[in-house]
Structures are given as C-alpha cells and as structure tokens.
C-alpha cells in the first residue's frame, strides 16, 4: 500500500467488511476510541493467541498474569506516572484548536532531529489558522476516576496507562506461588488508557488500546545480554507473522528521548503509508527502577535471594511492550494487496494463516435446492474445528473475491459432483490452486493446509 488514497480505501474496507468500526458511531463517534467488528475481533484474538503461545506457552521461563485496570493510586506515584507522565499542550488563541507542543516543534525542526523532545515554542504559530499559541503547559495523560460515592482527592484513582505495573507489584506473589528463579518473565495482555491530546491515524494512536507486555527479570549485570536476546526474539516474532522484513527496522533511542526508567530502549518500526517508519514495539531495559520505587513507596522488600552468591538483589528488567491495535493495523496493511487475475482486479489480504479471521468458507456452487443442504452439512462438519463462514449469495467468482478480501486462506466448494462422489474442492487463497478431497477427510485436509492454525 503506497499512499493516502489507498489508506482511505483500506479504512473503508475495514468498516465495510466488519474489521473496525468507529466507536459509538450513531452518536457521531468519540475521538480516539474504536470498536472491533466480527472479523476484527477474530484477527485481534488470533494475534493475542500467537503472542501468548510464543511468549508464555512455548517458553520455559515466562508465566502469564492478568491484573486490574484500576490499581491502588500509590502505584502511579511510585512509578513516576503521577509526576511525569505528561505531554506539553498548547492552544491556539484564535481557532481554539489544541496541539501537542512537542509535535509542533518536531514538525518545524524535523530536518534536524526527528525525535527531539525539546519544547521551545517561541515563534511558532498555529498550523491550522496561523493564530497565536498559548505557552505550553503540561497535561497528565492518565484518565482519572473516583472510587466510592465522594469525588475528592482521597478517592481518586487512575485508569492504567500501561499494564507493566501490574507485573511489578505482583513480582513477589508470582515468584513465591510459581517457585521461580531468575531469569524469568511475567507477561500480560490487557487494555490501557491514555488521554492523548491528539489521537489519530485510524487505530494507530488511540485513547483506549490494548497492550501485550512482558517484564523479564534478570540478575543485574546480565541485563544487556538479555536485552539483545529479546530484541532478536521480538523481531523474529514479527517476521514469523509474515510481516515483510524490508518494511521493518530497528531503531535505537537517542539518550535524550529515553523514558525516565530506561537505560537503553530499542524500537521495532514499520514503514506505514501515512507516517513512514513508526514504532510498533519497544524493547526497554527498565533497570531496577520500578522494583526499587515500589520498595520505597510500599515499604515491602522486592528483593530476590540469589542462592549462588548468597545475596539479596533487586532484579533488572527487560521489557518488550507493544499495542495490539497498532499490531493489528500493521499486519492488515502489510497483508493488503491488489492484483490482476485473468484480466480482473482482486483485492487480497495475504494474512498469515494463523491470523486469518476466517479459516475456511463453505460455498455451494449455487443456491440450488440440492446443493444448499449438502453445503450446510459440510459447514456443520467444520464449525466445531475452525472459524468458518457460509456464503451462497451471487456468483461463485464474486464469492471467492469476497473471501480473498478478508484473507480467508481456504474456500470449500460444494458442486453437483459432490452429490454423487461425496467430495468437495478446496481452493487456496494465494495460489488459487484447487484440489478435490473426500468430505470424510475434509477436516484433516484443512488442518494440514492450515498447519495447525
């Protein structure tokens, strides 16, 4: 996908085919919030499942967890989010539009430094109307709420801006319950919230989003080596999902853009049609910052007893962290293709079989009264095993195109021969090759082609 026009085509496909809807659309929407439709939720679940399998199930050194979105507010004081998780904001005095000061500055000096966070807005004007801007003021990105009936300082709580703190405050619980030794990791998938000043670019930057984060606890001194290993692991995960290697690259954070807790951070970036290379995953060395802060604020020891050295140490932490929504956007954009087939254009999602929302579609050749019951029996046979669709509307060619457009890897066609030979045709999405298989062996044949997906 090359440019802004195809981005519009793509966003419209996402809505039309049930991948992504604007949240609360009938009420004019709500900025920075999106809903996943019937196909979107399957793709999202497949991404989560694949990450969980690679990060938790198949490894011998990582366990999962799922913590509450609302935590004790002291957590966010300890982590530094109450004091420092803020963006500089300016308003235009004439048109009243609101901007992130650092983005305006970046925009102006992008030739010199694409990622500087210096906020010096003197001389800048509103990019929309040319009006005068206010002085920048810091705006905390955590959504606030109140627990209990009285909305005062004592009852204030926050929607988590990252899932990571759920792992840090449970470090000792997990260590004990799971009888773990270093190095080991705790992984989590869950929603997070950031009150972004300027959400945008479809689901690229949301106010409500879902994260997949893993905190890998290691002995101090082994952190740099583990950081390198995780960068490699995570890069391989992306290419293993079928994302084109030439569209991905790895970028080191400059010292001045590092988060307050980080010793070194590396981003995996994807070349988006609307933004150029932009972060899809960050792999940070968070050092012992978080555990030490929680020791200080909670008064509880979060040290690990190292039998070998006989010492109590606060582990270092390597954190691969990503947003699923952005991953969703990446795999969809990367899979999107338009091609000519026998003089006809087809739109295609070349999604990895493990990610495809629908694994197999059952298509009777026509709505013939003998074919339909036979096709529905085939559908009944497949539903317990795979996510499927049934479609008998319009020509078979048109229905193949519809399945291509949503990335269905396999179509199963029921024709008049089926009525006598009890066999069906399997058609593959990418090659469009067709093979005939007996209905009795269909589940096994599909399973083999899907390679356990």
Which of positions 42-81 make contact with a second copy (CB under 8 A)? Answer: 42, 44-45, 52-53, 57-60, 63-72, 74-75
Q: How far is the CB of 72 from a second copy (least distance, A)?
A: 4
Single out the residue of 47, 104, 169, 424 in contact with a second copy (rule: CB under 8 A): 169
Helix (H) or strand (E) holding 437: strand 434-438
Considering only residues 237 to 276 of the shown chain, the ones binding a second copy according to CB under 8 A are none
Single out the residue of 344, 384, 420, 451 in contact with a second copy (rule: CB under 8 A): 384
Q: How far is the CB of 88 from a second copy (least distance, A)?
A: 11
Q: How far is the CB of 147 from a second copy (least distance, A)?
A: 7
CA–CA dist 268, 253 (Å, integer) = 11
The gap from C-alpha 57 to its chain's centroid, in whole angstroms, comes to 19
Q: How far is the CB of 58 from a second copy (least distance, A)?
A: 5
Considering only residues 281 to 310 of the shown chain, the ones binding a second copy according to CB under 8 A are 294, 297-298, 300, 302
- The CA-to-CA distance between both ends of the chain, in Å, stands at 26
Phi and psi dihedrals of 97, rounded to 5?
A: -70, 160
Both tokens of 413, joined, read 């066609």
Q: Decide: 409 and 391 in contact? Cβ < 8 Å.
A: no
Q: How far is the CB of 390 from a second copy (least distance, A)?
A: 7
Phi and psi dihedrals of 317, rounded to 5?
A: -130, 130
Between 411 and 450, how does the x/- string for binding to a second copy read (CB under 8 A)?
A: ----------------------------------------
CA–CA dist 229, 378 (Å, integer) = 46
Considering only residues 105 to 144 of the shown chain, the ones binding a second copy according to CB under 8 A are 139, 143-144
- The HSE-up count of residue 204 (CA atoms within 13 Å, CB side) is 19
Single out the residue of 136, 161, 166, 315 in contact with a second copy (rule: CB under 8 A): 166
12 in contact with a second copy (CB under 8 A): no
Single out the residue of 122, 152, 153, 179 in contact with a second copy (rule: CB under 8 A): 179
145 in contact with a second copy (CB under 8 A): yes
Considering only residues 304 to 363 of the shown chain, the ones binding a second copy according to CB under 8 A are none
> Which of these ranges, 163-171, 312-320, 343-351, 408-416, lies near a second copy under the rule CB under 8 A?
163-171
| Alpha helices per DSSP H over 183-272 | 223-240
Q: Decide: 438 and 428 in contact? Cβ < 8 Å.
A: no
Number of residues that bind a second copy (CB under 8 A): 84
CA–CA dist 321, 304 (Å, integer) = 24
Residue 161 or 267: which CB sits closer to a second copy?
A: 161
Q: How far is the CB of 205 from a second copy (least distance, A)?
A: 14
| Number of other CB atoms surrounding residue 448 within 10 Å | 10
Q: How far is the CB of 411 from a second copy (least distance, A)?
A: 17
Q: How far is the CB of 245 from a second copy (least distance, A)?
A: 24
Considering only residues 195 to 224 of the shown chain, the ones binding a second copy according to CB under 8 A are 195, 197, 207-208
Q: Using CA of residue 339, residue 341, residue 346, residue 348, what is the dihedral sign?
A: negative
Q: Decide: 63 and 178 in contact? Cβ < 8 Å.
A: yes
Q: Decide: 182 and 304 in contact? Cβ < 8 Å.
A: yes
Residue 52 or 277: which CB sits closer to a second copy?
A: 52
Single out the residue of 10, 51, 99, 193 in contact with a second copy (rule: CB under 8 A): 193
Both tokens of 114, joined, read 């694409």
387 in contact with a second copy (CB under 8 A): yes
Pairing of strands 276-287, 264-272: antiparallel
């Amino acid at each position: 996908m090359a440019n802004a026009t195809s981005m519009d085509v793509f966003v419209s496909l996402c809505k039309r085919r049930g991948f992504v809807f604007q949240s609360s659309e009938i009420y004019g929407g709500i900025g920075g919030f999106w809903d996943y439709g019937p196909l979107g939720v399957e793709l999202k679940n497949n991404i989560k499942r694949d990450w969980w399998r690679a990060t938790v199930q198949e490894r011998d050194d990582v366990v999962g967890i799922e913590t509450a979105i609302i935590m004790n507010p002291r957590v966010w004081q300890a982590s530094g989010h109450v004091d420092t998780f803020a963006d500089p904001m300016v308003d235009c005095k004439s048109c009243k539009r609101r901007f992130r000061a650092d983005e305006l500055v970046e925009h102006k000096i992008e030739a010199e430094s694409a990622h500087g966070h210096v906020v010096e807005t003197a001389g800048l004007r509103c990019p929309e109307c040319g009006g005068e801007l206010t002085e920048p003021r810091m705006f905390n990105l955590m959504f606030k709420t109140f627990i209990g009936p009285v909305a005062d300082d004592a009852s204030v709580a926050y929607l988590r801006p990252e899932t990571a703190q759920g792992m840090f405050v449970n470090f000792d619980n997990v260590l004990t319950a799971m009888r773990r030794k270093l190095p080991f990791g705790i992984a989590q998938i869950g929603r997070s919230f950031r009150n972004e000043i300027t959400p945008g670019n479809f689901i690229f930057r949301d106010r409500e989003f879902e994260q997949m984060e893993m905190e890998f606890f290691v002995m101090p001194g082994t952190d740099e080596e583990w950081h390198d290993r995780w960068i490699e692991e995570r890069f391989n995960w992306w290419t293993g999902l079928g994302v084109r290697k030439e569209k991905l690259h790895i970028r080191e954070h400059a010292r001045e853009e590092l988060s307050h807790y980080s010793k070194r951070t590396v981003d995996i970036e994807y070349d988006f049609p609307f933004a150029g290379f932009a972060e899809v995953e960050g792999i940070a060395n968070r050092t012992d910052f978080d555990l030490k802060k929680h020791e200080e604020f909670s008064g509880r020891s979060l040290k690990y007893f190292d039998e070998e050295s006989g010492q109590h140490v606060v582990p270092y932490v390597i954190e691969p962290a990503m947003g699923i929504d952005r991953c969703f956007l990446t795999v969809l954009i990367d899979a999107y293709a338009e091609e000519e087939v026998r003089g006809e254009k087809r739109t295609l999602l070349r999604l990895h079989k493990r990610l495809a929302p629908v694994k197999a579609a059952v298509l009777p050749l026509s709505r013939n009264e003998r074919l339909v019951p036979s096709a529905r029996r085939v559908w009944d046979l497949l539903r317990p095993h795979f996510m499927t669709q049934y479609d008998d509307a319009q020509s078979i060619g048109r229905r193949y195109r519809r399945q291509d457009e949503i990335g269905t890897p396999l179509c199963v066609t029921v024709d008049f021969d089926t009525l006598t030979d009890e066999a069906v045709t399997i058609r593959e999405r990418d090659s469009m090759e067709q093979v005939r298989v007996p209905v009795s062996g269909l589940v096994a044949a599909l399973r083999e082609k899907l390679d356990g997906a």
